[in-house]
Structure 1
Amino acid sequence: MTSYRPLHEGWTLTGGDISGVPATVPGCVHTDLLRAGRIDDPYLDANETKLAWIGRTDWEYTTSFVATPGGRTDLVCAGLDTVAAIELNGSVVGATANMHRGYRFDVSPLLRDGDNEIKVKFSSAYAYAEGQRDRLGARPNAYEEPFNFIRKQACNFGWDWGPTLVTAGIWQPIGLETWRTARLAEVRPQVTVAGGVGRVELRVRLDRLEDTPVKITATIGGRTAQATVDGIEALLILTVDDPDLWWPRGYGSPSLYDLDVVLSDASGERLDGWSRRIGFRDVRVDTTDGGFTVVINDVPVFVRGVNWIPDDVFADRITRDRLATRFRQAADAGVNYLRIWGGGRYESEDFYELADEMGFLVGQDFLFACAAYPEEEPFRSEIEAEARENVVRLASHPSLIMWTGNNENLWGHEDWDWKPALNGRTWGAGFYYELLPRVVGELDPSRFYWPGSPYSGSPDRYPNDPAFGTTHIWDVWNTDDYTKYGAYRPRFVAEFGFQAPPTFSTLRRSISDTELAPDSPGMAHHQKAVGGDQKLERGLANHLPAPRDFDDWHFLTQLNQARALAFGIEHFRSLSPLCAGTIMWQLNDCWPVTSWAAVDGDGRKKPLWYAMRDAYADRLLTFQPRTGKPLTTGGPLTDIEPGSVVTPDGAPALVAVNDGRASWALETTVTRRNLAGEVLASVALTATVEPGRAVTLTLPDDVATPADPRTELLVTDTGTTWFWVSDKDIEWPAADFTATVDGTSVTVHATTILRSLTLFPDRLSPEAETDRAAVTVLPGESVTFTIHSPEPLDPKALTSHPVLRCVNDMKSPG
């Protein structure tokens, strides 16, 4: 029978002037040196800049183990980062140059009875990548780093949200596998469901030492299939009548079935085994008429998504519990879709198992991002090998619904002045249009493949055309105000985002500046986006009063980020079914940094998280300007031409969006009020909103038209608001309220209107958080914040500046 022995103990690390440092496997050089006290924490202040030498140094991992040779024994390396040579007892075993795939080497002839020594020698990733660049010729790249010339996690070389920390090490499990007769080399289930019957086409490939017949037995849901195999391949088909379907979040239960495969010899003795949990669901993406609609079990699903980057620069820190926490944060925010971005990794089994269990839909990018990639050898062969391995590895997971060829490379080729620089050299088109769809079509034809993100459905069409396929909207952050989201009529938005700093506790843990300022040394180092601070300032100037100090700046930039993404998400959802999905950039961070994330590098929720939760609610009420030809009152929004751009300056209408599974009998009252809370006009509205639809309700002129836009607002009885002018143009009254603390709750009773009232309990205890943020409270009304804190918090501090904030503070003493 196959047996596996991990080799994770007793490793030491040597490189440069470092010798004999204890090493953790799986792990990497940086975390080993940090544990040994040989480097400062790269996440703090500007320590990152002192560690560039690590990525330019060769490293050697060494350990010893005792063995008793017998039978076939393979050294199984699940992941080596990245350019490595392996030696066993002084003899060369093999070499690797790809972080994104595993390797297996027959070491039976090299094993000794007794003590054995294994060495894994890592060459500098920089040296390899720069050598390949010099050999093949430079290619355009978003950053001055050679990440497109090595099959390694691209963001290790730095990004506009990430540090430059070029890792090396045994980053995945390593061990010895001993086997006889035959082993399961590949198990590939293709799972479909049709006509009430679930079907598993199970393709098995064997490695063999003997030609004798072996038996494969597969079981699922009380059904069994067997095959006696003389060769190396077999196909077993299992069916399950009326299976419980796997549904995404919000649509039903993500039902799973145990699929077990056993390999046995002629005597019935077990040789090997394989087990996974699979789910029966039908998946397709409807691209009719230029659209991009995900359909699960014949039900169109509006994608409420987030982009996912590696949750830490150092993979050994990303535990299953940590992933589960991040997934709960996504689920609690109404997210149903995770897009794994192409500059990171093919995500782990822990990631996909959690997604299966929690009902998340997942889109996995192949690992190409923001650069032209050479198609010559050795890259073509390496990329085909990594694609084949990972398509097979992930084929059993019902959460995975699509593969995407790359991130922004098709767009970059057309729009980022690549063509003159390339001068006819390869850039990756052969991968995205030929190799990768061929691999997916051969190994997992049940999965949808899309050549890139963004992509407009045809190589002949501009790849980032919002009227077709998937689009990325970055002019808003880079050059325009966030209200420009309202000018778009996209079919599916796969990236859009707006920056803000992390929570105050995260800043104070990671930055030791005596006085924090937007441009203080630590803050500046933890802003990786070119011109990022200037873009933050532009966003503030467009909407909010000028900050008086850092505390104001921190509050207002976080608030502006939350408003920007809520504005975009609500607008795009209001276009349903014309627009069929939004994937905001981004859920998470990999270190403490000013970025587009909703959850910062220490795992704390920014105000954006709360805004996303509200904007991604199953049932959404949102005020939206409507221009062009009149819409039928209460009718679905179906008369907006795909891709058209209009100026969003129309009168406000109320849009009701229903992503629930039942009809929504809407009854609400909309009032026009002044800042004192007095009702100036009102209307009662009713509508039936069917699942998967958005209904637009026009407002009568006396409600929709203000007498004084600077002193009036619209509000529903559920708290949805609309202001005709920006906060900076409103004369907010000095904030007047009473606040009481009762154990874990803070109740604020407003005497004046309180604009975007927010509580920041992490300023008092780093682990404290609240249940809501940015609540506008009308005069005479109250709001209660529930606090989750591991320790009691000072009531006076909890209800005072800078912990309790609102926009009115800019017009009154702090």
Structure 2
Amino acid sequence: MIRRTVHEGWQLSAVGGPVPEAVAGRAVPAEVPGSAHLDLLRAGLIPDPYLDRNEAELAWAHRADWRLATTFTAEAARPGERVELVFDGIDTVAAIELNGTLLGRTANMHRGYRFDVREVLRDGDNELVVTLFSALAHAERVERELGWRDRAYPHPFNAVRKMACSFGWDWGPDLQTAGLWKPVALERWDSARLAGVRPLVTVDPDGTGRVEVHVDVDAVAAADLSIVATVDGRRERVAVSGDRAVVTVLVPGARLWWPAGYGEHPLYDLRVALLAGEEEVDSAQRRVGFRTITVDTEPDGIGTPFTFVVNGRRIFAKGANWIPDDHFLTRITRERLARRVDQAVAANMNMLRVWGGGIYETDDFYDVCDERGVLVWQDFPFACAAYAEEEPLRSEVEAEARQNVARLTAHPSLALWNGNNENLWGYADWGWPEQLQGRTWGLGYYRELLPAIVAELDPTRPYAPGSPYSPGEVHPNDDAHGTRHEWEVWNRVDYTRYRDHAPRFCAEFGFQAPPTWATLTRWVRDEPLTPTSPAFLLHQKAEDGNGKLDRGLASHLPVPESFEDWHWATQLNQARAVSFGVAHFRSHWPRTAGALVWQLNDCWPVTSWSAIDGDGREKPLYYALRHAFAPRLLTVQPRGGTDVLVAVNDDDRPWASEVSVRRLTFAGEVLVEVRLPLRVPARSVAEVGLAEALLTPTDPEAEVLVATTPDARAVHPFREDRELAYDPAPLTAEVVAVPGGYRVDVRATSFARDVAVLADRVAPDAVVDDVLVSLLPGERHSFTVRTTAELADPSALAGPLVLRSANSLSAVLT
């Protein structure tokens, strides 16, 4: 088979809708894959959508129609030859014409399309035109036909098969994209092609790796066709029967693929060849990994667990939710994905949940996760809304699910197919039954259609009907059953209330903060910059977001007056809140078997729940997660009316150590010290009782409890920061130039909590090796800052707005 991309010579022009005069009547060069917004931006016809308040000024594009056109040269189809025009992804509502002939119409971003062009293709120049219609207008028409269904946001994103967050979310812009977002190609063949290659990979009880390759063949005419599959030098051949074949390759003693933190992640090359007689006419390559994966949902004395089991071993899922890494998807490169997943692994994560308001993630994303041992929980793209189960949606849902389940089977990182995000919860609690008045809302997808497709095409993986989800007649967000989303914290109650529940698996929880200073000031240029300045507010999408930030802050930290202090305080409070939740959930293993933070990344510069902001910079939360997800964790937790020391050992080696537990003053005077033996089996949790003298401070505003081993430390003040008698200036620092950047040597003269070097305030590319390091009096710590900048004044890295701590916020009260 010959595949030739059709990516050159495209032109974009507006053909309908309320288009500004500067855009109307213009044809501009277009990139494929690409997006109309990006084409207009490159042509200088629109401002950057992410900058200041430009998002609002581009709302006209919601109702614009576009024409994408190109001319390509080709040969007409020869007798007996098949020729197809293939669109891997169209965003979203489109009509496709070749040489004036309508090939078809599309209304689904999540699937590909193939058009037979044998009768249309001609020798020489061929004109290809794709007309892209307003997805919003289309969705409104479908909603009128099928009836209104509730959703989390104003636009009817649930009435069209398009990335839901393209219509805006509580962390994302309302910039409704349109374009050819995946490759376009002309494919031609004479005898047959591989129409589908679907490897199902398992491990036999004796350790033999089994690759069962299901192949679909598109043949021009009856022929002697066979399939040859090769893995690790082992080759098997079978004849094609009809249009299908199944060939199995066994790999004795296969090396197992393990999640990050549990072992290596070896990958094997799979090659599949289609032969006509002895001539190879088509081929495909995949990479596979040998492992087994299930989810334990066998009822126990508590309720219903939700525990991932990989290669027979129970896994605590440490990770985060994943959203598209850029609202404009075609800007996301493999290198960018690798960077982001590397950041997740460096934060001790082993799982990412691809959230249901985005996309079926790309093969690049899955390749990167395969290589790094990151388990992927993939939602089907349904989120926070009721979805009609009638045409024209139902057939599109089935087509997209079949394509994507088959596409992703080879990836060992894929751990779970999940039916939806929060829709079962929505039906239970958000008043849907009354609003629907008997209309369908998606349950048939989640309970029947999608599990049937997974069972047929990918039986090697588990399926869950939704998240949150509880089996049987139990409320879907019950903490004793299945998966839970914890949003009372952030929305209504203080973050210490995470301790109200010990869920079986917490699939979403989080707290907001603004992006890093360099990201914020690059994209928001209000003068003055405040939490209520116009552009800042446009980059805060959450309902009452700033109010929740301020209320969440007030219980814990001094309320700042300057914007700089507010920025640091809200970032610190986010880090504290989420790491508090992580430590609580981890301390309840094996009852609680997972903690997936909302969210790892951002799709643009915004105040959000992310640990990594829209420019890829790591917020203080990121470092807090790295500490809280560390293989060995010490944390003080309430048990039975008193506090105990909980030691979490997420390592294959037993943790045998001595723990020093001290109560000391902020000035460094040790009031009580106890040394206790610590014995924690591999992948286990142990509780260590603490003497009353350790837990009863003489001066609770000026004392701290510290537990230390060579592997971990827990720091436990007896009051909230706003009540503590901190020295507001407890640090001295020296900055030294080193290869690749600078070293900031810090010494504490008094207890200094959560010391940070906010290096991006000095140089936008500066990255520090650690943040949120608490120091006792007399302790020293060196922060390494990597930057390409040669600073005229390196001491700026120790300036009062750069070298921060919780103590520095107490200065606003003095």
TM-score under structure 1 normalisation? 0.96
Is the contact between residue 557 and residue 809 of structure 2 (CA under 8 Å) also seen in structure 1? no
Q: Letter of the aligned partner of 2:244 in structure 1?
A: E
Is the contact between residue 576 and residue 692 of structure 1 (CA under 8 Å) also seen in structure 2? no
CA distance in 1, matches of 2:751, 2:720: 16
What is the correspondence of 1:585-734 to structure 2 with a 5 Å cutoff? 585-627=598-640, 650-717=641-708, 718-734=712-728
Q: Letter of the aligned partner of 2:140 in structure 1?
A: E
Is the contact between residue 72 and residue 127 of structure 2 (CA under 8 Å) also seen in structure 1? yes
Identity of aligned residues (%): 54
Q: Which residue of 1 aligns with 2:589?
A: 576
CA distance in 2, matches of 1:651, 1:58: 64
Q: 1:201 to 1:750 in 2, by over 3 A?
A: same
Q: Which residue of 2 aligns with 1:637?
A: none
What secondary structure sits across from 1:34 in the alignment?
helix
CA distance in 2, matches of 1:712, 1:230: 77
Is the contact between residue 585 and residue 595 of structure 2 (CA under 8 Å) also seen in structure 1? yes
CA distance in 1, matches of 2:639, 2:561: 36
Is the contact between residue 195 and residue 216 of structure 2 (CA under 8 Å) also seen in structure 1? yes
CA distance in 2, matches of 1:239, 1:607: 47
In the TM superposition, residue 453 of structure 1 has moved relative to its aligned partner by 0.5
- 1:364 maps to which of 350, 374, 378: 378
In the TM superposition, residue 698 of structure 1 has moved relative to its aligned partner by 0.6
Is the contact between residue 651 and residue 705 of structure 1 (CA under 8 Å) also seen in structure 2? no
Q: Which residue of 2 aligns with 1:122?
A: 132
Q: Which residue of 1 aligns with 2:556?
A: 543
Is the contact between residue 633 and residue 713 of structure 2 (CA under 8 Å) also seen in structure 1? no
Is the contact between residue 284 and residue 448 of structure 1 (CA under 8 Å) also seen in structure 2? yes
What is the correspondence of 1:235-314 to structure 2 with a 5 Å cutoff? 235-266=246-277, 268-289=278-299, 290-314=304-328
Q: Which residue of 1 aligns with 2:789?
A: 791
564-573 or 14-23, larger mean C-alpha shift:
14-23
In the TM superposition, residue 55 of structure 1 has moved relative to its aligned partner by 2.1
CA distance in 1, matches of 2:774, 2:241: 72
Is the contact between residue 735 and residue 753 of structure 1 (CA under 8 Å) also seen in structure 2? no
Q: Which residue of 1 aligns with 2:731?
A: 737
CA distance in 1, matches of 2:612, 2:67: 36
Is the contact between residue 81 and residue 152 of structure 1 (CA under 8 Å) also seen in structure 2? yes
CA distance in 2, matches of 1:774, 1:229: 61
Q: Letter of the aligned partner of 1:659 in structure 2?
A: D
Is the contact between residue 734 and residue 795 of structure 2 (CA under 8 Å) also seen in structure 1? no
In the TM superposition, residue 653 of structure 1 has moved relative to its aligned partner by 1.1
What secondary structure sits across from 1:591 in the alignment?
coil
Matched, 1:22 2:13: no
Q: Letter of the aligned partner of 1:699 in structure 2?
A: L
CA distance in 1, matches of 2:728, 2:56: 45
Is the contact between residue 569 and residue 809 of structure 2 (CA under 8 Å) also seen in structure 1? no
Q: Letter of the aligned partner of 1:505 in structure 2?
A: A
Q: Which residue of 1 aligns with 2:763?
A: 765
What is the correspondence of 1:197-212 to structure 2 with a 5 Å cutoff? 197-212=208-223
CA distance in 1, matches of 2:570, 2:535: 17
Q: Which residue of 2 aligns with 1:642?
A: none
What secondary structure sits across from 2:455 in the alignment?
helix
Is the contact between residue 769 and residue 785 of structure 2 (CA under 8 Å) also seen in structure 1? yes
The C-alpha deviation readout for 1:299-324, integer Å capped at 9, x for no partner, is: 11110011000000001100001001
CA distance in 1, matches of 2:241, 2:606: 57
What secondary structure sits across from 2:229 in the alignment?
strand
- 1:219 maps to which of 204, 222, 230: 230
In the TM superposition, residue 230 of structure 1 has moved relative to its aligned partner by 4.3
The C-alpha deviation readout for 1:679-726, integer Å capped at 9, x for no partner, is: 111111222211221101011111122223222110123442001210
731-740 or 289-298, larger mean C-alpha shift:
731-740
In the TM superposition, residue 521 of structure 1 has moved relative to its aligned partner by 1.1
Alignment RMSD: 1.1
227-236 or 430-439, larger mean C-alpha shift:
227-236
Matched, 1:379 2:393: yes
Q: Which residue of 2 aligns with 1:639?
A: none
Matched, 1:451 2:465: yes
In the TM superposition, residue 428 of structure 1 has moved relative to its aligned partner by 0.2
CA distance in 1, matches of 2:403, 2:809: 56
What secondary structure sits across from 1:776 in the alignment?
strand
Stretches of structure 1 lacking an aligned partner (at least 5 in a row):
628-649
Stretches of structure 2 lacking an aligned partner (at least 5 in a row):
none
CA distance in 2, matches of 1:444, 1:8: 33
- 1:111 maps to which of 100, 108, 121: 121
Q: Which residue of 2 aligns with 1:175?
A: 185
The C-alpha deviation readout for 1:101-130, integer Å capped at 9, x for no partner, is: 000111011111111110011111011100
Q: Which residue of 1 aligns with 2:3?
A: 4
Matched, 1:155 2:165: yes
Is the contact between residue 706 and residue 716 of structure 2 (CA under 8 Å) also seen in structure 1? yes
CA distance in 2, matches of 1:652, 1:780: 28
In the TM superposition, residue 462 of structure 1 has moved relative to its aligned partner by 0.5
- 1:424 maps to which of 421, 426, 438: 438
CA distance in 1, matches of 2:707, 2:430: 45
CA distance in 2, matches of 1:624, 1:769: 33
- 2:333 maps to which of 306, 319, 330: 319
In the TM superposition, residue 18 of structure 1 has moved relative to its aligned partner by 4.4
CA distance in 2, matches of 1:27, 1:617: 40
Q: Letter of the aligned partner of 1:772 in structure 2?
A: D
Is the contact between residue 309 and residue 590 of structure 1 (CA under 8 Å) also seen in structure 2? yes
CA distance in 2, matches of 1:455, 1:218: 39
What secondary structure sits across from 2:404 in the alignment?
helix
474-483 or 754-763, larger mean C-alpha shift:
754-763
CA distance in 1, matches of 2:82, 2:666: 80
Is the contact between residue 659 and residue 678 of structure 2 (CA under 8 Å) also seen in structure 1? no
Q: Which residue of 2 aligns with 1:229?
A: 240
Q: Letter of the aligned partner of 2:42 in structure 1?
A: R
Matched, 1:142 2:152: yes
CA distance in 1, matches of 2:192, 2:101: 26
In the TM superposition, residue 732 of structure 1 has moved relative to its aligned partner by 1.4
Is the contact between residue 55 and residue 168 of structure 1 (CA under 8 Å) also seen in structure 2? no
Q: Which residue of 2 aligns with 1:36?
A: 43
The C-alpha deviation readout for 1:586-625, integer Å capped at 9, x for no partner, is: 0000000000000000000000000000000011111112
- 1:749 maps to which of 734, 747, 750: 747
CA distance in 2, matches of 1:392, 1:291: 28
TM-score under structure 2 normalisation? 0.96
Q: Which residue of 1 aligns with 2:83?
A: 73
The C-alpha deviation readout for 1:3-22, integer Å capped at 9, x for no partner, is: 01000000000114142110
- 1:440 maps to which of 451, 454, 460: 454
In the TM superposition, residue 419 of structure 1 has moved relative to its aligned partner by 1.4
In the TM superposition, residue 498 of structure 1 has moved relative to its aligned partner by 0.2
Q: 1:197 to 1:781 in 2, by over 3 A?
A: same
Matched, 1:55 2:62: yes
Matched, 1:777 2:775: yes
Is the contact between residue 667 and residue 749 of structure 2 (CA under 8 Å) also seen in structure 1? no
Is the contact between residue 194 and residue 282 of structure 1 (CA under 8 Å) also seen in structure 2? no
Is the contact between residue 83 and residue 186 of structure 2 (CA under 8 Å) also seen in structure 1? yes
The C-alpha deviation readout for 1:172-228, integer Å capped at 9, x for no partner, is: 000100111111111111111022111111111111111112111111122111112
Aligned pairs, number:
789
Is the contact between residue 577 and residue 692 of structure 1 (CA under 8 Å) also seen in structure 2? no
What secondary structure sits across from 2:58 in the alignment?
helix
The C-alpha deviation readout for 1:378-406, integer Å capped at 9, x for no partner, is: 11111001000000000010000110000
CA distance in 1, matches of 2:530, 2:319: 33
CA distance in 2, matches of 1:181, 1:807: 70
Q: 1:498 to 1:439 in 2, by over 3 A?
A: same
CA distance in 2, matches of 1:795, 1:274: 54
Q: Which residue of 2 aligns with 1:631?
A: none
In the TM superposition, residue 666 of structure 1 has moved relative to its aligned partner by 2.6
